[in-house]
Amino acid sequence: MKEKLWCVLALLVLLGVAQAQIPTTLIQSVTPPSGTARSGVKPTFSCRYYANLNGTMQPVTGAIVVVVVDSGNYSASYVEGEYLYSGVTLYAGNHNWYCIAGKAGYQFQMGSPQIYSVLPSGGGGGGGRHYLVSPIGGLGANLWTLAIVVIAVIGIVLGYFVVRGAMLTAGEKKKKK
């Protein structure tokens, strides 16, 4: 499933390179807010993907929107002006997340990584479990995801120029004949 999502996003980027793009904005949020939920929570991640159409910001419908949580890629569903995902259970500690959104003809967006902190279960007083979470592990996983996206975009752009150069060369050969 993850490979399919990345292939679709790569295709959207390629289509965007070949045509003019409508400017977009991506706004990320999560409910309940970071630092307020207990271990075992299923937060709702929100990705608001808007296009600037004739000076007004309007939701982009029919887009591919992925929520990345701790290096897992999850497809978000469109509900009343925003894309939502709430299918992952999070336990005590810090979790990295962000949104990726794209649609052919629209500017591709990748949100900045966010940290979602989940409190240990238990009623306080030291009775709950406490976890030591390394921020480096989560950051490293996000950097790998970012590296894959950057490499895919570079490959797509280079492929576009190679195909375009081949087409121009073929056109010049026809003119000489």
> Does 45 score more than 90 pLDDT?
yes
Which residue type occupies 78?
Y
Res 129: pLDDT: 41
Q: How many residues does the chain have?
A: 177
> Does 59 score more than 80 pLDDT?
yes
Q: What CATH number does the domain containing 62 carry?
A: 2.60.40.1220
Residue located via tokens 């590296």: 147
Res 126: pLDDT: 42
Which residue(s) pair with 84 in the sheet? Answer: 46, 77
- Tokens read off for 97: 């997340």
Res 130: pLDDT: 39
Phi, psi of 130 (to 5 degrees): -120, 140
Q: Specify the number of domains making up the chain.
A: 1
What sign does the dihedral 4-7-11-13 (CA atoms) show? positive
- pLDDT confidence bin for 4, thresholds 50/70/90: low
CB 106 within 8 A of CB 24: yes
- pLDDT confidence bin for 9, thresholds 50/70/90: low
Res 145: pLDDT: 60
Percentage of the chain modeled with pLDDT above 70: 58
CB 111 within 8 A of CB 92: no
Domain extent for 147: 2-176
**40-61 per-residue burial string, b: 16 or more CB within 10 A, e: under 16:** ebebebbbbbbbeeeeeeeebe
> Does 150 score more than 70 pLDDT?
no
